[in-house]
A and B are shown apart, each in its own frame.
Chain A
Amino acid sequence: MKGREWLIHRLLVVVAFSSLSLLGLIAVFIFAGGIPIMAQVGLGEFLAGTRWAPTRGHFGILPMIVGSLWVTAGALVLGVPVALACAMYLSEVASEGVGRVVKPALELLAGIPSVVYGFLGLVLLVPLIRQFLGGPGFSVLAAACVLAVMILPTVTSVSYDALRAVPPTYREGSLALGATRWQTISMSVLPAARSGILAGVILGMGRAVGETMAVIMVAGNATLVPVSPLDPVRTLTSNIALELGYAAGKHREALFATGVVLFLIIMVLNLVAGAVAGRGKSR
């Protein structure tokens, strides 16, 4: 019996470390593919260059970095307030029965394939933007709207859990002091759940940075630093997905280097999310 337990223990350790080493392997692979061209072009030129024409020898990915930031920020601005409102409603206002129907329905949004969101954006959003706001329709705004809907379930359910974790005594105390329901939610419950909500927002941000398919379909993918929400935009992930199939030689290396930048951005986001969530727990 003892021997068997030891075996299982060892087995679990091996499995755990093999998935960890997979992460390491991915990192090594991407970095090995991307570092040489970064060194060759120069880090400054690569990160701050505005011209991307890899088959002509121009490897500036600033338009994609700025594009990713624009689109992600837009998605958060549009999506987070709605997600927070949903979470607040579900946790504080909705009756048990309503909650039991609405929450799973909201979580269902996370299960819809991204190509479906992209298609809806393409046939509904893009023509509307072109008609009423101008520009080609394929834009930062279109991508941000689509992403806002896509991050909704993540942000909502994490925020909901954070709000639910606030002890009932906070609400009772606030109400006993004569605060209205809205005052209780906004000034007592919400601040108490802040770190959990922030972790949810950062998780949503991670999803927005990484999303590819839907963004390719509605963003226009122009290789220009976008200056207005109506400008077409190309994100880091789109850049890789669009061109990797066709790329060879230096072009391919440059796409791996794009992957390195993306990898680092996502790593930082995850570390921040971990730190924020950890701080919430220790309090």
Chain B
Amino acid sequence: MTGVVLLTLTALGGCRREARVHTVTLAGSTSVQPFAELLAEVFMSRHPEISVNVQGGGSSAGIEAALSGAADIGMSSRHLLPAEQAQLRPVLIAQDAVAVVVHPSNPVRGLTRDQARDIFAGRIRNWSQVGGPPSAIHVILREEGSGTRASFEEMIMEGSDPDPRALVQDSNGAVRETVAHDPGAIGYISLGLVDERVRPVSIDGMTPSVPAVLEGRYQLVRPFLFVLKGEPREPALLFLDFVLGPGQAILREEGLIPAAKGSGNP
């Protein structure tokens, strides 16, 4: 009896196992993760012999995983540091705009880059200083180490320290949730996550949108990178080819800005 059960189990397990003889592991940025999962799903339906595992952990963890070989491909939503660049090869798979968002009831429609920096650095502390109502500004940041935060600081803060009084939320979704419920709040999130509950403000007169990014009119843009150590194994290479080829249409559909073939890919 036990033998029969065991046999059946192995047979059942075998059906799936037998088909997928190769595994590709991805780990890293939680911003890239949902897109990578979607790509993996489509890829696996085309390549029944390859199974693609996508894990989160954050950009820095992804880079670490690629360095140590724990993952075939690391995912990062920030540029590599010089030290990392020496050992890893970044491949741009798409670009994502970062939008500065406020509560929909906030009359402030736009900020200059300097104003944005001063707000996030805690030097401007009241909305009346930037043409809004006389109420305190509640700054919301991502946590230290986040790719979204690193990109935002690189693009806007220009070396200024972020306000230590600022609230810190640990995901794009939590930042959006907080801004959506607080009329005095300001934060930054991925453009793909902006919905009617928050309003993006223009920076230096440029309103964030996919066309504006494509035409180069909006410059708060960060890379979505796959990072590789050395020459990847065959199945990982296949997946990479898929992402840079047919996968680009999927990414565009999901609201990302496709990586122009070749550009930014050393």
Contact = CB atoms under 8 A, between A and B. Distances in A.
Interface in B176-206: 177-178, 181-182, 184-185
* Chain B, interface SS category: mixed
A176 B239 CA distance: 85
B233 to A, nearest CB: 24
Contacts of A52: 144, 164
Contacts of A166: none
Contact of B143 (A51, A63, A221): A221
Contacts of B144: 52-55, 243, 246-247, 251
A136 B145 contact: no
Given A245-B57, A245-B61, A246-B58, A216 B145 contact: no
Nearest to A139: B167
A243 B143 CA distance: 6
B182 A53 contact: no
Contacts of A243: 143-145
Taking residues whose C-beta sits less than 8 angstroms from the other chain, chain B's interface range is 20 to 34
B32 to A, nearest CB: 13
B164 A248 contact: no
Interface string A51-76: 11111100000010000000000000
Contacts of B165: 222, 224, 232
Contacts of B182: 130, 136-137
A248 B168 contact: no
Contacts of B167: 136, 138, 220-222, 232
B181 A248 contact: no
B209 to A, nearest CB: 28
B168 A220 contact: yes
A51 B163 CA distance: 11
B164 A223 contact: yes
A143 to B, nearest CB: 13
Given A220-B167, A232-B165, A248-B61, A55 B145 contact: yes
Interface string B144-167: 111100000000000001001111
B176 to A, nearest CB: 13
A122 B169 CA distance: 12
A245 B56 contact: yes
Contact of B61 (A137, A232, A246): A246
Contacts of A232: 165, 167
Interface centre among A126, A243, A246 (most CB of B within 10 A): A246
A106 interface: no
A75 B143 CA distance: 25
B170 interface: yes
A222 B164 contact: yes
Interface in A5-48: none
A4 to B, nearest CB: 27
B170 A216 contact: yes
Contact of B168 (A55, A122, A222, A245): A222
B60 interface: yes
A53 B145 contact: no
A251 B61 CA distance: 12
A243 B165 CA distance: 17
B139 to A, nearest CB: 9
Interface string A222-246: 1110000000101000000011011
A220 B175 CA distance: 11
Contact of A251 (B56, B63, B145, B161): B145
Contacts of A122: 177
Given A126-B181, A246-B146, 18 more contacts: A52-B164, A53-B144, A53-B161, A54-B145, A55-B144, A55-B145, A63-B164, A136-B182, A216-B170, A221-B167, A221-B168, A242-B170, A243-B144, A246-B58, A246-B144, A246-B145, A247-B60, A248-B145
Interface of A: 51-56, 63, 122, 126-127, 130, 136-138, 216, 220-224, 232, 234, 242-243, 245-248, 251
7 contacts: A127-B181, A136-B184, A136-B185, A137-B182, A220-B167, A221-B170, A243-B143
